[in-house]
Structure 1
């Protein structure tokens, strides 16, 4: 059983409901795994708790808290079955969707599971190519202003940011315009910043700001200060290995999805504004973003 965290109640209930039956094992009429709790005679076995801690619990969650969450879920599952919700068409559709996602993820994990580790030369090359991450690595103290505004006002905000003397000037303008915003302070090492924008941060001087558009408006970041804290190649090696291995897994997963699509006959039924086709259009670019575990 792979339940989700308590904050995602519907997904957690579906996962418990769908996978409960196949996660328990018996040997000679006895539980295959130690029983850690009983809920109205229904056993919760140690393998379920281990799976919860490995896949469904937030980082740092204690074993006791995870067990209590499993008990809560089991109580709800029992009541749901009493009300025959396991036969509700909407629930069955959710089961099918969850099963499809789990099987697809398992397949990609199997395909990418034998990824070879990077060589010493590749690790050294990555280290040399990214001094902002390693040899010139910095710890950044940032002030982040999350701004909620319509997209048509982004250009106006951009002009205001360029004229303002600093973050306080921008906040004063936002307050006058009644534009919602939230200010947060953060201290982040270089590796916690997006790799594609890290070179820009490395060139910034204290007090400088950078504005980027977001789905809900904009994010304005001011560099309050930074300090040099380099990593030598030996210390950086585990980080580089994880990054390069995961990069290869993503590339393998994308290639495998493309291979499967090319080998398959994919048909699109007629829909308003789109003619019926016998197979998937090959000229259109496809954005494939499979999920790969590190």
Structure 2
């Protein structure tokens, strides 16, 4: 059985209904039903010298979506068994003094900071107001490529490795080519490395900047985008109309606009905190602090975002749109 994994977003939500169901199921399983003389307890299980509480079980259950009342007792039992396994592992870790390992201490502190920061972000995000019908319509009208003029794109894509001179020549040449085979032949003749593929893409799965260019094309035309290592080129082989009405997209747009407002509230809040805080960079970071951050390499950095994280401000989250379009063909 897998050990439960606790996420910061789950820490910040409560579910009274599930909590009551879980507590009732556990008490019933322990003989706490009506007419039983045993005293109700908040302890769900004792593991050696440790204990697992009903609250711990409830905490895990709060993250279970769509839990039905008749499922509560069985799910509670499975959760409890997982927590027993976890408690046994924790006890062994403490016995072996793993909790004193500098790497473990750092990981625990990092998790604590992340939970607290996201809790504060959630508090800021609570002030976000729900979008109005006018807001939803305005967004729908502003993104015809996603909605009223939505198309399913058949693309022949090329990821091309090229130096500055080759890029300039290819950017001028590619739009004049009549087929993907012509481009592939030209690249092979020039000894330029590339990878090609044929794909079918819905607009909600395409970056907005690229989609804006695709939406203007007719079948047989190219779109070419420069990259740090060369070029991305795509021939529009087919474009099948697949419009979506405002009513069908309403829920998806509403969710996107709400999460985007939350994101902006958090960003503005953190910006205000930076403006009023005394921040001093020292050591090797002192000199670098005066210049822009290096964005050349993608790195994982701590982030403060509302829960769940919001999508980009200029694009509709693909899963949100797909959910909003469920049932449509």
TM class, shorter-length: 0.5 to 0.7
Quick check: 2:150–2:242 contact (8 Å CA) kept in 1?
yes
1:110 aligned residue (120, 123, 134): 123
Consecutive unaligned residues in structure 2, runs of 5 or more: 9-22, 27-39, 67-74, 296-301, 311-329
Question: By how many angstroms is 1:148 displaced?
Answer: 4.9
Question: By how many angstroms is 1:107 displaced?
Answer: 1.6
Give yes or no for the alignment of 1:191 onto 2:196. Answer: no
**SS of corresponding position for 2:215:** helix
Q: What is the correspondence of 1:278-289 to structure 2 with a 5 Å cutoff?
A: none
Question: By how many angstroms is 1:252 displaced?
Answer: 0.8
Question: By how many angstroms is 1:125 displaced?
Answer: 1.8
Q: What is the correspondence of 1:3-152 to structure 2 with a 5 Å cutoff?
A: 28=41, 30-31=43-44, 45=57, 47-48=59-60, 51=63, 83-148=96-161
Q: 1 CA distance for matches of 2:191 and 2:118?
A: 45
Work out which structure has the larger RCO, using CA pairs closer than 8 Å and 6 or more positions apart in sequence.
Answer: 2
Question: By how many angstroms is 1:106 displaced?
Answer: 2.4
**SS of corresponding position for 2:252:** helix
Other-structure match for 1:242 = 255
Quick check: 2:167–2:230 contact (8 Å CA) kept in 1?
yes
Aligned length in residues: 249
Change (3 A) 1:53 1:42: farther
Question: By how many angstroms is 1:111 displaced?
Answer: 1.0
Q: 2 CA distance for matches of 1:83 and 1:177?
A: 62
Tell me which structure has the larger Cα radius of gyration.
2
Q: 1 CA distance for matches of 2:285 and 2:44?
A: 55
Other-structure match for 1:220 = 233
Quick check: 2:144–2:150 contact (8 Å CA) kept in 1?
yes
Change (3 A) 1:76 1:185: farther
Question: By how many angstroms is 1:233 displaced?
Answer: 1.6
Quick check: 1:143–1:185 contact (8 Å CA) kept in 2?
yes
Question: By how many angstroms is 1:237 displaced?
Answer: 1.1
Quick check: 2:175–2:221 contact (8 Å CA) kept in 1?
no
Normalization by structure 2: what TM-score?
0.59
Consecutive unaligned residues in structure 1, runs of 5 or more: 5-14, 16-24, 33-37, 55-62
Other-structure match for 1:291 = 305
Question: By how many angstroms is 1:42 displaced?
Answer: 9.8
RMSD: 4.4
Question: By how many angstroms is 1:251 displaced?
Answer: 1.4
Q: 1 CA distance for matches of 2:285 and 2:253?
A: 49
Q: 1 CA distance for matches of 2:272 and 2:223?
A: 40
**SS of corresponding position for 1:143:** strand
Question: By how many angstroms is 1:206 displaced?
Answer: 1.3
Question: By how many angstroms is 1:226 displaced?
Answer: 0.9
Change (3 A) 1:103 1:185: farther
Change (3 A) 1:42 1:165: farther
**SS of corresponding position for 1:115:** coil
**SS of corresponding position for 1:265:** coil
Q: 2 CA distance for matches of 1:79 and 1:127?
A: 56
